Every structure is written in C-alpha cells, then in structure tokens.
Structure 1
Amino acid sequence: MKKLLFLAFAFSSLQTFAQDFMPPLISWEGKSAALMANGENPWITPGERDNLMTSPSYEETVLWLRKLADSSPLIHMRSLGKSEQGRDIWLIIASEGAEFEAEKIKNADKPVLFFHGGIHAGEIDGKDAGMMLLRDIVHGSKKDLLSQSTLLFIPILNVDGHERRSEYGRVNQRGPREMGWRTNAQNLNLNRDYTKLETAGVRAVVEVINAYDPDLYVDVHVTDGADYQYDITYGYVKTGGYSPAISAFLSEKFQPEVDQALNDWGHIPGPLLFAANGQDFSEGNVAFSFSPRFSHTYGDARHLPSILIENHSLKPFRQRVLGTYVFLEQAIKSIGRHYSAVKAAVEADQNQAKDELVVKFGFRENPADTMEFLGIASEKLKSELTGREYIQWKGKPITQQVPSLLMDRPVQQVSTPEAYFVPAEWTEVIQKLRQHGLNMETLESSLEIELEFDFLTEYKLSNSPLEGKIRFQSFVTKPITRKITLSPGSVKIPVDQNLGELASILLEPESVDSFFQWGYFMSVLSQTEYMETYIMEPMMKELLNKDAVLKAEFERAKEANPDWANSPRSIYRWFYERTPYFDQNWKVIPVGKLR
C-alpha cells in the first residue's frame, strides 16, 4: 500500500506537459484560416467550436456525421465492421447522384478519391479536415466538388486507439489537447499491417480498395522528429517502386497543382523528411524505400495512386488541419482534371512485364542531388544528465542546401513464376490472399503436379518480436523440384494479373513482407519424426555395402571435417537424411511455383 501511495505521489509530481518544452513557434496566419466556420454556423464542427484546439471523441464525431448524413441525400454512412473492442469503423460516402452502391461507384466513369484519418489515432488531422470539407460540400459553396469525384472517407481508422485519448498521447506534437494512441487495442501498428492484414482497421481499408477501386488513396499522418518551416509534407513512391507511370503522373501533374494550392492558401508544402543523422538535416534528407507493409507503398504495389501525408508535428493542430483541408480539396480537383491521365497511368503499370520482381532496394552510392531546404536554426548542446549531445531548435528560419539520399537502387530481385500454388491446409494464408483481392483458382479436385519449392538450408530467427511476430533475421534457400498432390481447396494464383506484383511480394520468401518472413509458415521448421540408433546402425552398414557412390561420399565427408567424423550423432543424422524415412517436408516453404 505504501508503495502504491509513493507511486501516486511521484506521478502527480511529474504531471508536466510537453507543450511547455516545445521549440519556439513561428507565428502563422495563413489565408486558409478563412475556411473555418464561425460560431453562428449551425454546421460548425466540434473542433472548430474550440478554434481547432481540440478534436472530438469517437462518439461526438459519429453523432455529428450521422446528423450530417441525415440532413442530405448526398451523404451515406456505412459500417465496415467492428474494431477489436467492438466499435464500428465508419465509411462516409459523398456522391453527387446519391449513388452509394460499391459496384456502381466502381464502374461509373468518374474519379473516386479515398482518404482516411487516424490510422495512428493521435495523428488525427484528417478527421477534422474531412468533417469541415464535407460540411462545405453539403451545406456550403463546394457542392461542385462532387461533380469532379465521389468521396470515400474513413474519419477514424484506429477507433480503439482514438479512444485511448489523453493529454499525454504524443510528447512531440502540438495538439489537439487530447490525443489518441498510436497502436490499436492489441498494440498493433496499423501502418505496418498492409501485407499481413491482422487488424480490423487495415482489413477495412483493403475492403474499400477492392470494392470501390479508387483512383487516389490518401493516408493522413503527423510526423515525428525534427523542426523545419514546412507544415504540410507528403510523398509517394517516386522511384524504386512498382508503378513508374503512376509515379510520373503524381510528380508531373498532381504534385505541382497541390503545392501551388497549398502555397496560395498560406502553407509551406514539402517532401517527406527524414534527417540522415537522426537529428538535423546537415547530412541530408533520406528518401527511404518503404516496404509494402506501409500504406502508400502497398498502394504502389497494387498500382493505386497513393499519397502519404505527414503534417509537421511541431505546427499547431489548427494550422495542420487547415492545410489538410486545402490538400484534399485540391486533390479532388486535380484528379478530376487529369482523370484520363490517371487511368492511363494505372493501365500502363498493370500491364508491365512481371517476369522479375525487385524485393530489396539500397541507397545510391552518391546523393541524387541537393535540395533547397527550408530549415530552422539549431545548436547542439551537451546534456548535463547524460553527457551526450542533443539538438536544441532556435525558432529562426534558415535556408540550406542539403543532399538528397535516395534508397532506390535494386539490390535483390527474384524471377517470378507463371503461377503460385498454396496447398489447402494453409487456410490462413489463402484467406489473406483472398482479402487482398487477388485473382485465384480454387481446385475442386485433387491435382498431381510438379512444382518448384524453396528449401531452407540455413536460417536465424530474430531475438525479439515485431508487431507480435517473430521474423527471420537471416536465411538461405535453394530451389527444389517435387511432384506433389494438391488437395481440393488448394489455390492457384497466376502472376499475369493486375495484382501480379502483389502476389509475388506476398509469396516470394525473399520479399521483406512475404508471408514467410512474417512467420506464417513457422511450423515447417519443426521436425516431428526421428531415428533410433539401434535401427540406424544395421541400416548404415547395409547402405554402405550396397551403394558405392554413397560410401565414397561418406569417406569424403569424414576427410573434409574430422570433428564431424568424431560425432556419432552427426553421422547418424547424415545417413538418416539420405533415407526415404526422413521428413521430406521439413524446412520446405509450402508455396509451389509453376515455371
């Protein structure tokens, strides 16, 4: 009891707020402030009512959106299912013709824009910006936006993390006053889940993508990290990805128009920013090659124009929300204006040759170029507590020339087959392939077929879990060819399909986000039948007497490794592996490849 009282006292004495220690704030009054509703507007959002110092709770958000939907035939609310704690994950559909059926929206000759907020629930800017934009479409002067695009909006994706809200949600972020938690109720990070599909939130996102086939996907985040002048930073897979035509469209047509709109409304747009040295940008900005477990890279892998917004955490919530509003409005206009170019880019990327797949990218040997960087002055101080240097930001705008370090050099690629086969017993993997929307053929009867498999010759598992999974730290495989009989319910996944690259990303072991690397085939590492020495002794003698080739191989093995030759256990094992009694499925990754 005394210990509990001490802890309670200690906690109360430490109730200080990160806001008190934030770097100096550069004052901002952009033109976009005019987008906020005044107190007399009956459709003012809960956040605007508090000058965007706060963001509404899940219940307040849903009540406001339901009221909006009830007030207009242009808006429809649909639950995409329940979260891990039982909350509905809501999709808001805004359609000019009051057309809300997925199949009709998908097949209409009209752009579809899909965006969501709160995949990391403390980073909730997209929710409040989306509510304001919908209000201005339904009850303001922007109804014409729906003539340019049908809108799909998930206001809160990580609904359970959203309700784990407090003033201590994110230590390095300027508002809102209460912020949600990064991970879901099972402590899983939704923006690491796009390949394994273990969270209700990301399964909902993929369901929307499959059902509505959007023309642009936007995932709204808030940064961690350093200080700089930019308030709205965003990016997409520019190089080193799977959709070069889409990347060119976004770079040449989409980004210039969005940047111009943000500038016109008083914001400073910038690229995704990651300091090379982890502190300031003196050593350059890193353009990482994200793997498809992340939203925008997953979109690139399935040839969906995808944008990752990272609003600057050190800018006030109000400024960030208004910038997000400007971004989304211009995105609607730009996708509508360039709709035919978007469709052409998607089609070009879908029709690429699929005979090889790059599964790993590395940094270029030299920086790609330099960029004019709108930074903030800083200095390095030595900590009196730790003795280490740390950065202190000074609040003074500076302009620097910094290197751009690109991670787009292919360093590993695999040759893809004509098709993959997954045996019926691997039901979880087959279910996930279906959830991704891959075209596959389910076998209705047994099939005897010769396929190539990957055999693990060596491997090392990670020492700690990632997203609740034990992954492989390293491994080596070799191809083997076997004739097997596949049971009814097994699936064939052809590579020649629109999502062919995604199929290979999920099923090729070397792919960093393959089902194998995420640990879905761990049971093949276990050996379940063993030898007995009293059987092996006479069997070994018989084998050596009958097989001269085997005897010569045995003698060479002993000569090459004296330590091995002095290990009875190793010798027994060597012979056992060469008998038909040895487990032929041990360490064989159960994804067959038809070459």
Structure 2
Amino acid sequence: MSFYFASILYVMMKKALLLLILLPIFTYAQDVMPPLLPWKGKSEALMVAKGHPWITPGEASDLKESPTYEETYLWIKKIADSSPYIQLKSLGKSEQGRDIWILIASKNQFFDGERLKKEEKPLIFFHGGIHAGEIDGKDAGMMLLRDIIHGEKGHLLDQANILFIPILNVDGHERRSPYGRVNQRGPVEMGWRTNAKNLNLNRDFTKIETAGVKAVIEVINEYEPDLYVDVHVTDGADYQYDITYGFVKTGGYSPAISQFLANTFQKEVDAALSSKGHIPGPLLFAANGDDFSSGNVAFSFSPRFSHTYGDARHLPSILIENHSLKPFRQRVLGTYVFMEQAILTMAKHFDAVKKAVALDQNQAKESLDVKFKFRENPADTMQFKGIASRKEKSTLTGSEYVVWEGKAITQEVPTLLMDVPVQTVPIPKAYWISSEWSEVIEKLQLHGIEMEILSEPKDIRLEYSKVMDFKMGSQPYEGLMRVQEFSSEKIYRTQTFLPGSIRVKTDQALGELAVILLEEESVDSFFQWGYFNSVFSQTEYIESYIMEPLIIQMLAKDPKLKTEFETKKSEDPDFAKNARRIYRWFYEKTPYFDQNWKVIPVGREW
C-alpha cells in the first residue's frame, strides 16, 4: 500500500471513530434546520465515479465530507507531482506553524510572478477557507484542477493561468468538529471561523495582522492576478438561491471594473450557473435581520474585507457567499461551475478587463470618499426568490422568532443601497511618516505601496491633524482598541525626518489605498484601527508652584491673553472655580506643553 493511501486510511479511521461517538447529537442539530427544497442539477455530472483514480477525498464521501488539512495536502501534492503544469508552493507558516499551500497551474510551466504577468492570458486567483468552516472553495477547486490536469478540461489552462489556495485559514480549518457551524448543512465536520488567535481573516485586509491575509496580499503583489475570488458560505436567512456573490457595484474606487463585472461577468456566470441547475443571486442581507419583507441591504463594505480591498487596488474581486442552508454537495458543485465560467469569461473578455483596470488605475482624483451611508429611498426592487416564513411567539422567551416553511415564493423586495458619501477627504501630493512608526511603515510596504525612504535627515513643513476630542471603543475589536469617535483640526509645523522615514506619493497605482490607510477619517485608517493610540498619552506635566508665578508673568506681558482669560471665566463659571483647569488652560499656551500630544503622526505635503 502506498504512503498516500495508507495515510488517507489512517485519517479516515480516526474520523469514523469520532463521528460514531458524536453522531447522535450531531444528527439532532441537523434535524432542527428549516425544511430543504429538493434539488437536482446537471452539475452533479461533474462528480467522478467511486473507482476513479483521481477522485477527490470529498467526492469519495459523495460530497458529504471535506478532507482534513493532511488529507488535502497529500492529494494536492500527489496531483502536483503528477503533472509538469502544476507547482505546489508554501506561502509561509500559519500562527500554529502549518504551511499555507498554493497551487500554481500554467500550461507554459511559468510559476514565477514575472513570467506569469507577461503572459497574454488572464491569471485567476481564488481561495477557500478564509473562514475555515466555509470550505466549499477547497473541494470545488480540487475537482476543477483534477478535470483540467487529468480530465477533459485541459483547454481551460490554454485560456488562463490559475492560482489556488485550497485552505487559507489552516489553523481554523483544523479546529474542526460537527459543531463548527450549527446553521450550515455540511460538511460533516467543519472548521472554525477565526484563526488560532481568534482573529477574523476577512476583517484583516487593511491591518494585516494574520499570516493568512499576509499571504494573500503577497500573492497579489507578486503575481498581479486579473481576477480575485474569495469563497465563503453565508449565515442568516432562508431563500431559494444557492450561489450568491457580489462585488463593489457603486460607492467604490474602480468604476470601470465594476461596470465590467456587472454588465459582462455577472451575466455570463449567472447563465452558466442557471444552465447547470443552480440559482444564482446577489449578496443577501435581510434589512430587518429575520426575513426580506423589509428589503435586502446592499452594504458598502470597507476595505478591511477581501473584495472591497481588491476594489481599492483596482483588482477585479468577487465575494462568493454560498447559501449555508443548502447541502454541501450542492454548494461545492455550484462553486465549481462558477470558477469554470469565471475562467472562460475572463479569457473571452481579457482585453476589456485590461482596459477597465487601466482606466481605474489612471483616474485623476482630487478627493476620495471614505465613508458612506444609505440612500434615503430604495435604489430599486428585485423579484426575490424567497422561502415562505411566519412569525411564532417563543414559549421560552415570549418574543417572536421567524420559522421557515420550506415553500418557494416570489416577493417584490426593495434594495437598500449604502453608497451615499458622508465623508470625503482631499488627496495631498504625498504623506510623510517618521521612522519611529516602523510598524505602520512595514504594513504600507506589505501592501505594496510605493515609498521613498530617506537616507539622510530632512526638514519639511507639513499639515497634520490634531485630535481635539476622542472616544475609544468599549472593548477590543479584532484584538485592537479602535478609535470610535473623534474630532480633529489641522495644524502646520516643521518637522525633522531622520533616515528611515518615508514619503508616500499619492500619484501611484495604489494611491487610493494609501489615502484609505493614512487619512484618519477613513474607517479603515491606521489611526482608527489604533496604531497611533500612544499619542493620546501625555507624559510631561508642570507643578502649581511653577505655574502660578509663570501665569502672572504671562498676563503681565500679554494684555490680549488677560482679556481672553477673563472672557473664559465669565463664559464658563465652572472653569473659573477650578484651579486645575485654570492651570491647565495656561499650561497649554506655553512652549513647555507637549507639542506632539494628540497629533496624528502623518504629515501631508500639498
């Protein structure tokens, strides 16, 4: 018996024992799910017979199970070893020391970024398991690669090159059990949403605190793919759609790309899914949190999310959200159809894609929208393929809850669109950051943002933002203490920048991303994420026995200051009675006061 099959047998025996112990409880959890509509689609023919030499571990269970990390590695290594067209490469280690594997497929056997970027065909990048319990992309990608390398779909590799990460959140993937996601119909064992440090990878694309997202951004920088697809599974309500997906349509930074995705890509992918028996739909979020009677919410995601980050980089990006209440088998097959058609569509319209990307990269912008709100009225309505539901009163809590009845219905549902700008910032010529803020500088470098690194000291007068009032979040979010609310005013001063400090010009391909990260008003700025929180600490003080005679001298020398002081006391009686506040008021007007306190250390060059 080969090492591969011996290893698979060992893993399967361990898994069978675990399931035998847990099956009674697990079956009960699945039994309380809403009724399931019957499904049969042409995509079922994509599965190979049980005796097929290249059957995937998932197919071997009739797509009821998904393989472990070790089973997955053994299979992808086997297929990489079997063909000169595939290379298996580690993108680095996870927080727990597991390799994050990527498969690179190229008919011309080009496996480095420089040569792949020069090929006149699209480069498709997709991954599964950014939320490790939502693993459909892994099994679909394994099946698709099998059919390209050892089946009848080799022509796909004539039309495109492929980058495929089967499991992104590898540590969360191995925190697997039948209790991973109670609202999801399979696979039998599911991984965990977050990584080993309990960080959500799909909230990490601006701050880059996880090994998985760091790997994704390194792939984007090195290979410059033409399409990026992140495969998820939904939470939430019931409906008929099985494969829902979305991209930034409005309120984004790549309007030409958005137009291509909406007018060309979506139409062809939807047609392919429909022809194979699937029901494609847009991203769906019930406005009232229960059903769709109040409408579907089309959020303006911030760039901490994968597909919005791609939009900010002018990279065509798709977020797939397969419906959690549909069986794993149906979801995987739909993902396969999606990815196959994505390759065909990108190849067919590659010139149009390149033109759209170039248009978005070369936009002339004087300002940038960094925060959005909902439109006052619905943008439009859609013929919604829903599931009938009713409200029942809980005998446990006394409140109402939704009950899904498993009957297909059609509803007229309004679309609530969040694309009205409420915060716009002017774009400076460049940003300056001093060398001591090395963590921020390193993150900008990881994003691939161009910068000039100073090799000798330089004095320059710049605009800064000084925080006047602020409020921190009440608890950590993704491991960081975010700035929740604040107000600021602009100040100007000359600063000496030492070697290692950086200048970031905004006239570059990733200029919009630089603005998003460095302007404090942006919801995903380094400031709001808390990377500059130390500026809120005041570390030098003055004693009252110094302050008292100093104030007398100040008032004697400056009649205007005396008038201002008297006015302040008359307008604010509490101030007039508070010696501490009076001393503080004068202290802030002296050159002894900390000039860096509450000043965000990002200088703007105009």
TM range (shorter): over 0.9
Q: Does 1:218 align with 2:218?
A: no
The AA in structure 2 aligned to 1:24 is P
Equivalent positions of 1:8-407 (< 5 A) are: 17-407=28-418
8 A contact 1:524–1:585 mirrored in 2: yes
SS of residue in 2 equivalent to 1:397: strand
Give CA deviations for 1:281-312 in whole Å, capped at 9, x if unaligned.
01100100000000000000110000000000
Q: 1:442 aligns with which of 427, 433, 453?
A: 453
How big is the alpha-carbon RMSD for the aligned residues of Structure 1 and Structure 2? Answer: 1.1
The AA in structure 1 aligned to 2:146 is R
Rounded to whole Å, the distance in 2 between the matches of 1:248 and 1:277 is 29
Partner of residue 8, structure 1: none
- Report how many aligned residue pairs link the two structures: 585
Rounded to whole Å, the distance in 1 between the matches of 2:428 and 2:461 is 13
The AA in structure 2 aligned to 1:306 is S
Q: 1:562 aligns with which of 557, 570, 573?
A: 573
Rounded to whole Å, the distance in 1 between the matches of 2:567 and 2:296 is 55
The AA in structure 1 aligned to 2:389 is S
Q: 2:498 aligns with which of 487, 492, 499?
A: 487
8 A contact 1:354–1:501 mirrored in 2: no
How far did 1:24 drift? Answer: 0.6
Q: Does 1:423 align with 2:434?
A: yes
8 A contact 2:171–2:195 mirrored in 1: yes
How far did 1:14 drift? Answer: 6.8
The AA in structure 1 aligned to 2:63 is L
Give CA deviations for 1:261-281 in whole Å, capped at 9, x if unaligned.
000111000000000000000
8 A contact 1:240–1:289 mirrored in 2: yes
How far did 1:91 drift? Answer: 0.7
The AA in structure 2 aligned to 1:284 is G
How far did 1:369 drift? Answer: 1.0
The AA in structure 1 aligned to 2:137 is G
8 A contact 2:26–2:179 mirrored in 1: no
SS of residue in 2 equivalent to 1:444: coil
Partner of residue 5, structure 1: none
SS of residue in 2 equivalent to 1:458: strand
The AA in structure 2 aligned to 1:111 is P
How far did 1:17 drift? Answer: 3.6
Partner of residue 4, structure 1: none
8 A contact 2:480–2:529 mirrored in 1: yes
- 555-564 or 447-456, larger mean C-alpha shift: 555-564
How far did 1:108 drift? Answer: 2.1
The AA in structure 1 aligned to 2:596 is N
SS of residue in 2 equivalent to 1:516: helix
Partner of residue 7, structure 1: none
Cα 1:17–1:432 shift into 2, 3 Å: farther
The AA in structure 2 aligned to 1:217 is Y
Q: Does 1:526 align with 2:558?
A: no
Cα 1:150–1:447 shift into 2, 3 Å: same
Give CA deviations for 1:481-539 in whole Å, capped at 9, x if unaligned.
01110111001110111111000000000000000000000100000000011111111
How far did 1:13 drift? Answer: 10
Cα 1:12–1:260 shift into 2, 3 Å: closer
Rounded to whole Å, the distance in 1 between the matches of 2:116 and 2:310 is 19
8 A contact 1:234–1:309 mirrored in 2: yes
* Unaligned 5+ runs, structure 1: 1-10
Partner of residue 470, structure 1: 481
Cα 1:506–1:51 shift into 2, 3 Å: same
Partner of residue 4, structure 2: none
The AA in structure 1 aligned to 2:322 is N
The AA in structure 2 aligned to 1:244 is P
* Unaligned 5+ runs, structure 2: 1-21
Rounded to whole Å, the distance in 2 between the matches of 1:394 and 1:276 is 20
Give CA deviations for 1:166-196 in whole Å, capped at 9, x if unaligned.
0000010000000000000000000000000
Rounded to whole Å, the distance in 2 between the matches of 1:448 and 1:28 is 69
- 96-105 or 151-160, larger mean C-alpha shift: 96-105
Partner of residue 6, structure 1: none
Please give the TM-score of this superposition, normalised by the length of structure 2. Answer: 0.96
The AA in structure 1 aligned to 2:294 is E
Give CA deviations for 1:40-98 in whole Å, capped at 9, x if unaligned.
21000000000000000000000000000000001100100000000000010000111
8 A contact 1:354–1:495 mirrored in 2: no
Please give the TM-score of this superposition, normalised by the length of structure 1. Answer: 0.97
8 A contact 2:371–2:422 mirrored in 1: yes
Rounded to whole Å, the distance in 2 between the matches of 1:291 and 1:437 is 19
Give CA deviations for 1:298-356 in whole Å, capped at 9, x if unaligned.
00011000000000000000000000000000000000000010000001011112310
Give CA deviations for 1:13-50 in whole Å, capped at 9, x if unaligned.
97764211011111111000000011121000000000
SS of residue in 2 equivalent to 1:29: coil
Rounded to whole Å, the distance in 2 between the matches of 1:174 and 1:355 is 48
8 A contact 2:26–2:178 mirrored in 1: no
How far did 1:109 drift? Answer: 2.1
Partner of residue 3, structure 1: none
Cα 1:114–1:13 shift into 2, 3 Å: closer
Rounded to whole Å, the distance in 2 between the matches of 1:109 and 1:33 is 33
Rounded to whole Å, the distance in 2 between the matches of 1:35 and 1:320 is 13
Cα 1:341–1:15 shift into 2, 3 Å: closer
Rounded to whole Å, the distance in 1 between the matches of 2:516 and 2:542 is 38
Q: 2:467 aligns with which of 428, 433, 456?
A: 456
SS of residue in 1 equivalent to 2:411: strand
8 A contact 1:354–1:496 mirrored in 2: no
How far did 1:154 drift? Answer: 0.4
Give CA deviations for 1:439-494 in whole Å, capped at 9, x if unaligned.
11001111100000000000011111110111122100001001110111001110
